[in-house]
A = this chain, B = another copy of it.
């Protein structure tokens, strides 16, 4: 909800006096799409070094150079939260990645469940969406989007100390309760596919010692709505929305 200003994600280390060379896609965006020229100012971030003010020193069709000047915001990492979701239609999958970036997740893992329709994802496209969302929302962190994991395999190899908030529409009307000692811990939020979890998946999830089933109200939510609602509940109960 801020006024528009140009923010660009780069991969270079950032620091005072650092020179940054732009690749063709970045040059196209900055000089052709956004019509910037030499001397223009913008903000850059790389996901590690905070946000910096930079100035265009060379502008070309195939590249360009920026000079990094002063830090404008410190690095701010999200809580150690993963979002697991079953990919849905293209536009809504893009939306989930965008929203997960804005809401503050460290890692985004598309998962294949029994009722997931999509068998393939374009990991590079989704990662680019996370970058764009971070550019637009003023974030200094870009969550990593992983390849598609099978839910069963992921649960079989689950990290010992990571808890799982699992959103189950069959609990509708039941209480939402996240453990009061969950703050500051590694967590994951799992959003089911549009067709819901299978009975076998639900039984398996419910039996996991690290899983916490949570209801998202009495109405049925689309998966993209459920993702934002679940992340809101988690950030409020266990994350950095204190």
Which residues of A are interface residues toward B (Cβ below 8 A)? 1-3, 76, 78, 95, 98-99, 102-104, 136-139, 169, 175-176, 192-196, 215-223, 225-226, 228-229, 231-233, 235-236, 239-242
Contact = CB atoms under 8 A, between A and B. Distances in A.
Nearest to A226: B1
Contacts of A192: 1
Q: How many copies of this chain sit in the oligomeric assembly?
A: 2
Contacts of A103: 217, 219, 221, 225, 229
Contact of A232 (B193, B220, B223, B228): B228
Given A1-B196, A1-B221, 16 more contacts: A1-B169, A1-B193, A2-B194, A78-B219, A99-B225, A102-B221, A103-B217, A104-B219, A137-B220, A139-B220, A176-B236, A215-B241, A217-B239, A228-B229, A228-B232, A229-B232
Contacts of A222: 1, 98, 102, 136-137
A39 to B, nearest CB: 26
Contacts of A99: 225, 228
B195 A217 contact: no
Contacts of A98: 222
A212 to B, nearest CB: 16
A241 B218 contact: yes
Contacts of A226: 1
A48 to B, nearest CB: 17
Most buried by B among A78, A194, A221: A221
A170 to B, nearest CB: 10
Contacts of A176: 236, 241
A95 B103 CA distance: 17
A155 to B, nearest CB: 19
Contacts of A195: 1-3
A63 B229 CA distance: 39
A215 B220 CA distance: 26
Given A175-B242, A228-B229, A223 B102 contact: no
A3 B170 CA distance: 13
A142 to B, nearest CB: 13
Contacts of A136: 222
